[in-house]
């Protein structure tokens, strides 16, 4: 009886600790982007999408670097495209990071639009709340 109760308590505890937090990164930019998030560097090729799962609740910083297209003489990033922070305080927060770019007169500009199933705390005008 005690073994059954202990096993049941462990299962309930582990089930209660799991979450479904995830980030989907979609790259509509002209070139590859590299997302540094939670000490992991993920590449997302132009036209590609990746999803990061099993993210514990908390606030995390991210940084984005990117490859320049041939012929670019300078580059810039707009809003939170170069980096920022993401907060997960529910068990099923879903975030979409949609990267895009412009390339005019030799200047390559990377942009990101971030949407979330929860409010995003950001000072950038590119983040939607």
Q: Is residue 46 part of a domain?
A: yes
Tell if the pTM clears 0.85, that is, is over it. no
Whole domain around residue 112: which residue ranges? 19-116
Please count the structural domains in the chain.
1
Strands 107-116 and 74-77 come out as parallel
**Tens digit of each residue's pLDDT (9 = 90 or more) over 35-80:** 999 999 999 999 999 999 999 999 999 999 999 999 999 999 998 9
Name the residue with tokens 């999408």: 49
CA atoms of 118 and 101, how far apart (whole Å) = 26
Residue 4: inside a domain: no
């Amino acid at each position: 009886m005690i073994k059954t109760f202990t096993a049941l308590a462990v299962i309930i505890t582990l089930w209660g600790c799991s979450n479904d937090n995830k980030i989907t990164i979609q790259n509509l930019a002209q070139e590859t982007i590299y997302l540094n998030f939670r000490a992991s560097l993920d590449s997302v090729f132009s036209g590609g999408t990746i999803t990061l799962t099993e993210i514990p609740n908390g606030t995390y910083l991210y940084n984005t670097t990117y490859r320049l297209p041939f012929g670019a003489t300078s580059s810039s990033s707009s809003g939170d495209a170069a980096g920022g922070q993401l907060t997960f305080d529910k068990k099923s927060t879903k975030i979409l990071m949609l990267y895009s770019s412009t390339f005019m007169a030799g200047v390559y500009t990377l942009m990101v639009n971030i949407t979330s199933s929860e409010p995003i705390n950001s000072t950038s005008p590119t983040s939607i709340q």
